[in-house]
Amino acid sequence: MEARDPIADLRRIAFLLERANEASYRVKAFRSAAATLGGLSGDEVAQRADARTLTELTGVGEVTARCVTESLAGEEPVYLRRLLATEGVSLPDAAAALRAALRGDCHVHSDWSDGGSPIEEMALAAVELGHEYMVLTDHSPRLTVARGLTAARLRRQLDHVAAVNAALPAGFRILTGIEVDILADGRLDQSDELLARLDVVVGSVHSGLNDDRAKMTRRMVAAVANPHLDILGHPTGRMVSSRPAGVTGAGPRHRARTRPPSDFDAEAVFAACAEHDKAVEINSRPERQDPPKRMIRLALEAGCRFAIDTDAHAPGQLDWQVYGCERAALCGVTGEDVVNTWPADRLRDWAAGHSR
């Protein structure tokens, strides 16, 4: 296959990012890489690509180096292809189509942990929104500030959900689940026996968010490799703002605050997600916006699946999925990439295929 012009591809990406009003640092990354490579001969660029030493050059990072390598192989860079795929697409239309394709929500809390409403109320609100299911994911024991469920309380909740399901309207059901803490060594904060009984397991980091890059990467990769984990929840743990004006009902123990993202090797973590067929959550909470758009694109390029979830702690928050859909559509995510566009049985079968 005949090689493409990698410098032209880098400049085209920068142009498309500028036109989309993306962050200036992202535009600069591609323009800087193009400028650096423009000072080299074509042979030297090709030799460095073959030797994987492009990133030793000032201004060339992992993402831009990958684009160059793909161009030299005669392939349209994945990054460019994703930008072109969304070029001229009406974002509101794309987001609306994605929202309409969602059949349920895989991350929902109740007053059994730090939510503000009973399970029944959350379920009926989901019914009114046209959902076919919701995955109940109250917290695990170590998160005491959020009244995480002990093993005994989780067993009682499973019995309670069975009773509630029997009384809910036909065509809707609550799927059992948990938002389990990813512990410092990558283990999950609940027994294997109980995790195996659940329909869907979301795993999230809630402590040690300032761990160094290497430690956090090992921790997350180990969790993703655990056969009981199905969805990696709010991957960076960031908070981009205080609770938005006018947003109420977050629950007495759930208060937003500004917080920087954790530092980890996103390429390694998303590669593990793709390898083990685990989904990356696109968290729809306005104060989280987690992961950031650049990471959504990185996960998409890695071949990851996604779950567009609300992390709702009150009934009205179940309608926040549109925020996640807007960010997902902007990054080129389609319904084919999202596990909660599936019917409940397919979602359960996919999760069961990991371990149960």
Per-residue pLDDT at 26:
83
pLDDT-wise least confident of 79-93, 103-117, 287-301: 79-93
pLDDT band for 249, please (50, 70, 90 cuts).
very low
Render pLDDT for 1-30 as a digit per residue (tens, 0 to 9).
Answer: 788 999 999 999 998 887 776 778 888 999
**What is the C-alpha radius of gyration for the chain, rounded to an integer number of angstroms?**
21
List the chain domain ranges: 6-86, 91-352
Question: Which fold would CATH assign to domain 6-86?
Answer: DNA polymerase; domain 1 (1.10.150)
Is the entire prediction scored with pTM above 0.85? no
Q: Which CATH superfamily is domain 91-352 in?
A: Metal-dependent hydrolases (3.20.20.140)
Per-residue pLDDT at 88:
63
Q: Does residue 245 surpass a pLDDT of 60?
A: no
Question: 241-273 in b/e burial notation, b at 16+ Cβ within 10 A?
Answer: eebeeebeebbeebebeeeebbbbbbbebbbbb
The conformation of residue 14, written as its DSSP 8-state character, comes to: H
* Whole-number Å distance between alpha carbons of 303 and 275: 9
Render pLDDT for 55-98 as a digit per residue (tens, 0 to 9).
Answer: 999 999 999 999 999 999 999 998 898 888 766 666 688 899 99
Render pLDDT for 136-182 as a digit per residue (tens, 0 to 9).
Answer: 999 999 999 899 999 999 999 999 999 999 999 999 999 999 999 99
